[in-house]
Amino acid sequence: MNALQQLKDNLAKELYGQTTQSAQATGLCIQCHKPALENCYSAAGRREYLISGLCEKCFDEICGE
């Protein structure tokens, strides 16, 4: 595992109690624990889920959109 991935995993565990990969393995949002793709309403939201594990709704709330 590279250093950047390890940093990302450690941060996700500290913030959410699990890694992005574990959230994606269940198909749930890392933050709200609801089915992620049901809360992604654009292609950009689906791509963001693959990066951060956040559904689009939670990502938008974090970004203040």
Give me the domain span that covers residue 10.
3-63
- The number of domains in the chain is 1
Question: What is the pLDDT confidence band of residue 64, given thresholds at 50, 70 and 90?
Answer: confident
In three-state form (DSSP H/G/I as H, E/B as E, the rest C), the secondary structure along the chain is CCHHHHHHHHHHHHHHCCCHHHHHHHCECCCCCCECHHHCCCHHHHHHHHHHCCCHHHHHHHHCC
Q: How many CA atoms lie within 13 A of 26 on its CB side?
A: 16
pLDDT tens, 5-57? 899 999 999 999 999 999 999 999 999 999 999 999 999 999 999 999 999 99
Q: 37 burial class (0-12, 13-18, 19+ CB within 10 angstroms)?
A: middle
Res 47: pLDDT: 95
pTM of the model: 0.85
